[in-house]
């Protein structure tokens, strides 16, 4: 019998969340971001659920090739572009699109000795200061691409630094102004909006939107829940209680006795720990569901187990179902208690955890 912890992936939730994107950006094509094994949900499983998207965006060349081999004909964009000239052969052969964000990539493209049909997304560093050409460098980079016979279509793109923060609208305004100035009156496709900008800045939707976290049912906005946004969780991590301990006043729980009972109480031991992807730093009080009822994690998270307070759930025992996050227990709430983001929890799911649909 297999260990009871598993991640249930709900394809219908992915489809539903894609529809939410379209509701907010009805005139834009959707580039569904499925990097990091589709935020832990599984690359091909997620691509199948999001097959109505006009494009997919990811980082790994081998993952992009897998998508093509699986029959997906949409635009497939490599968000960090290519890392050496040898990869250009695969990009051309598999009809992939690539971001170009630094001069070395321009030089590698110019070294291509044959006419090709490469679609390029030229990235402007409009203020995030991560990837992209500065506004001063951008015009020359664009001209080099326009005269390169290896390049077919050019899309202009940037990425927002603070779209998720309601008190930083000035930052978005500045980045939009920077992008619009650099793009000028050029009649070229454009791509700017991540999940937060899809929801908050319709003026940034342009030709392509690039939703990521919202597709998986997690909120990209710091002060707005996924439920308030109408999003559905696509991943529910569940397990079961495998043992129950009865504590007396003062008894400690787990490594370091980081939690001590302040009364007589029962605790359940759940199959699930940091080697499965649950955050090791989740403190006592982190919310969790047992038999569909809210309770709290107590004590330090172990590699393979964690403890839950059963004081108010008298009928819980060995075999009782537990929801670590997902339906009924928002991943963002768990992440907030653990001092991190829903992104990290979803992406940190360990390979040993069974994923089912």
CATH of residue 89's domain is: 3.20.20.10
Phi-psi region of 36 (alpha: psi -120 to 50; beta: other; left: phi over 0): left
Looking at the fold, whether 273 and 349 belong to one and the same domain comes out as yes
| Residue of 5, 10, 1 whose CA lies nearest to 235 | 10
Per-residue pLDDT of the chain (357 residues), as tens digits, is: 589 999 999 999 999 999 999 999 999 999 999 999 999 999 999 999 999 999 999 999 999 999 999 999 999 999 999 999 999 999 999 999 999 999 999 999 999 877 778 999 999 999 999 999 999 999 999 999 999 999 999 999 999 999 998 878 889 999 999 999 999 888 999 999 999 999 999 999 999 999 999 999 999 998 899 999 999 999 999 999 999 999 999 999 999 999 999 999 999 999 999 999 999 999 999 999 999 999 999 999 999 999 999 999 999 999 999 999 999 999 999 999 999 999 999 999 999 999 999
Number of domains in the chain: 2
**Residue tagged 């506004």 (tokens):** 135
In which domain, by residue range, is 326 found?
Answer: 235-356
**Residue tagged 């499983």 (tokens):** 45
Start-to-end CA distance of the chain, whole Å, equals 19
146 is an active site residue: no
Looking at the fold, whether 172 and 251 belong to one and the same domain comes out as no
Question: Of the listed 35, 39, 123, 274, which one is catalytic?
Answer: 35
255 is an active site residue: yes
Cross-strand partners of 296? 287
Q: What is the pTM of this model?
A: 0.95
Looking at the fold, whether 286 and 173 belong to one and the same domain comes out as no
User: Going by C-beta distance under 8 Å and a sequence separation of 6 or more, which residues neighbour residue 224?
Assistant: none
Looking at the fold, whether 201 and 161 belong to one and the same domain comes out as yes
| Residue of 314, 263, 270 whose CA lies nearest to 288 | 270
Looking at the fold, whether 132 and 176 belong to one and the same domain comes out as yes
Looking at the fold, whether 310 and 350 belong to one and the same domain comes out as yes
Looking at the fold, whether 62 and 140 belong to one and the same domain comes out as yes
Give the largest Cα separation in the chain, rounded. Answer: 77
Looking at the fold, whether 241 and 207 belong to one and the same domain comes out as no
CATH of residue 280's domain is: 2.40.37.10
Tell whether 5 is covered by a domain.
no
Question: Of the listed 123, 255, 274, 291, which one is catalytic?
Answer: 255
- Cα radius of gyration rounded to whole Å, the chain: 23
């Amino acid at each position: 019998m297999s260990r009871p912890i598993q991640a249930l992936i709900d394809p219908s939730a992915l489809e539903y969340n894609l529809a939410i994107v379209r509701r907010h950006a009805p005139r834009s094509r959707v580039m569904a971001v499925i990097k990091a094994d589709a935020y832990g949900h599984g690359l091909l499983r997620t691509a199948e659920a999001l097959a109505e998207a006009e494009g997919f965006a990811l980082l790994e060349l081998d993952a992009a090739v897998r998508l093509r081999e699986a029959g997906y004909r949409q635009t497939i964009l490599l968000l960090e572009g290519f890392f050496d000239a040898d990869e250009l052969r695969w990009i051309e052969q598999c009809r992939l699109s690539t971001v170009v964000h630094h001069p070395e990539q321009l030089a590698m493209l110019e070294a291509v000795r044959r006419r090709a049909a490469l679609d390029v997304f030229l990235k402007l560093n409009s203020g995030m200061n991560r990837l992209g050409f500065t506004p001063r460098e951008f015009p020359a980079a664009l001209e080099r691409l326009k005269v390169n016979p290896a390049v077919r279509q050019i899309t202009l793109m940037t990425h927002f630094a603070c779209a998720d923060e309601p008190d930083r609208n000035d930052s978005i305004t500045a980045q939009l102004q920077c992008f619009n100035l650099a793009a000028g009156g050029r009649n070229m496709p454009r791509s700017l909006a991540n999940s937060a900008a899809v929801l908050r800045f319709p003026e940034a939707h342009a030709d392509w939107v690039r939703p990521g976290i919202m597709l998986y049912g997690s909120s990209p906005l710091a002060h707005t829940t996924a439920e308030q946004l109408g999003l559905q969780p696509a991943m529910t991590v569940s397990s079961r209680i495998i043992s129950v301990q009865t504590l007396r006043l003062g008894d400690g729980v787990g490594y370091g006795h980081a939690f001590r009972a302040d009364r007589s109480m029962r605790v359940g031991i759940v199959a699930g720990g940091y080697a499965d992807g649950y955050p090791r730093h989740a403190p006592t009080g982190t919310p969790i569901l047992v038999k569909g009822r809210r309770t709290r994690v107590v004590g330090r998270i172990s590699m393979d187990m964690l403890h839950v307070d059963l004081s108010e759930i008298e009928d819980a025992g060995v075999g009782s179902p537990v929801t670590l996050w997902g339906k009924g227990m928002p991943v963002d709430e768990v992440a907030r208690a653990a001092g991190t983001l829903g992104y990290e929890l979803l992406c940190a799911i360990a390979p040993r955890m069974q994923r089912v649909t």
